[in-house]
């Protein structure tokens, strides 16, 4: 059974998940002496904080066919303590699925030259579904299996959740995988009707319990620069600063790079010792 849903059902699931994730204390409300039936906010509390009627909000959370303006949805997002990325995601899923995304099937040559120039820092180009369109030699040294990936599996999210070896490669895999999933959800808000997106999500539900569990939580996040460490079988422990670039000419693509940290020799060790793998 497909894990994808129409936009009203997805909106309802998102609202319920985010409501459960917010405590009364986070929004300045008393928890109360009586035992609460919900782990987070009650519907009436969200409605009050957003300035809408309880009936209207209940219908929205039930996936009924009602219209909601961007201003009202943004007010609900603020009541649910969503950040800018979360509110943008909320507005996107409240709309019917957009037309299929048009994007280059291969990385533009300018972006290929860019990631090649970044060597010995690992770098790659992602399409709108996070599919790998190109990568440089350093990325292949860091994760040699990238050259073997094909079809739906040639995808960053598949590598994180569908390849057990990645759990050994990335230090604190669970932290980075959850953050990546939240970024993926935010970055693919408009792809709900896309067949490639649906296939990827369905396949990941079938191979990863962690993905299935975290996907239900509906976490969303904008990209965050962060330090990532790797246990490389030949080069040892590697440390990089994970960064993302958004090319203006190709807005549906992203360039992800893992930059050397000042004073650290991880990139050099990866370049010298990769032949030992």
Domain ranges of the chain: 7-93, 109-276
Assign domain 7-93 to a CATH class: mainly alpha
pTM, two decimal places: 0.85
At 169-205, the pLDDT tens digits run 999 999 999 999 999 999 998 887 788 899 999 999 9
Report angle CA 90, 91, 94 to the nearest 5 degrees: 85
**CA proximity to 153, closest of 142, 168, 141, 163:** 163
* CATH of range 109-276; options 3.40.50.2300, 3.30.365.10, 3.40.50.1110, 3.30.450.180: 3.30.450.180
> What is the C-alpha separation between 223 and 67, in angstroms, rounded?
30
Query: Collapsing DSSP states into helix, strand and coil, what is residue 170?
Result: strand
With a CB cutoff of 8 Å and minimum separation 6, the contacts of 212 are 204, 205
**CA proximity to 119, closest of 267, 275, 274, 276:** 267
At 25-68, the pLDDT tens digits run 888 887 764 566 777 899 999 999 999 999 999 999 998 888 88
């Amino acid at each position: 059974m497909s894990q994808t849903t129409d936009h009203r059902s997805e909106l309802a699931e998102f609202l319920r998940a985010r409501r459960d994730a917010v405590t009364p204390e986070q929004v300045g409300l008393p928890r109360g002496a009586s035992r609460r039936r919900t782990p987070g906010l009650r519907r009436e509390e969200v409605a009050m904080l957003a300035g809408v009627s309880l009936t209207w909000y209940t219908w929205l959370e039930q996936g009924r066919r009602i219209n909601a303006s961007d201003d009202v949805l943004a007010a609900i997002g603020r009541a649910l303590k969503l950040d800018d990325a979360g509110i943008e995601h909320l507005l996107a899923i409240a709309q019917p699925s957009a037309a299929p995304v048009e994007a280059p099937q291969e990385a533009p040559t300018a972006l290929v030259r860019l990631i090649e120039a970044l060597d010995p820092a690992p770098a790659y180009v992602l399409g709108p579904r996070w599919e790998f369109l190109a990568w440089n030699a350093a990325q292949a040294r860091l994760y040699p299996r990238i050259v073997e990936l094909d079809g739906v599996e040639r995808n960053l999210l598949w590598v994180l959740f569908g390849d057990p070896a990645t759990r050994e490669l990335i230090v604190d895999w669970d932290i980075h995988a959850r953050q990546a999933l939240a970024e993926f959800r935010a970055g693919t808000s408009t792809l709900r009707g896309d067949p490639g997106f649906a296939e990827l999500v369905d396949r990941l539900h079938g191979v990863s319990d962690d993905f299935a569990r975290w996907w239900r939580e509906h976490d969303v996040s904008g990209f965050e620069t962060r330090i990532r460490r790797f246990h490389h079988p030949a080069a040892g422990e590697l440390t990089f600063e994970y960064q993302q670039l958004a090319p203006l000419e190709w807005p549906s693509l992203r360039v992800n790079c893992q930059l050397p940290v000042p004073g650290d020799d991880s990139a050099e060790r990866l370049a010298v010792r990769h032949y030992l793998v």
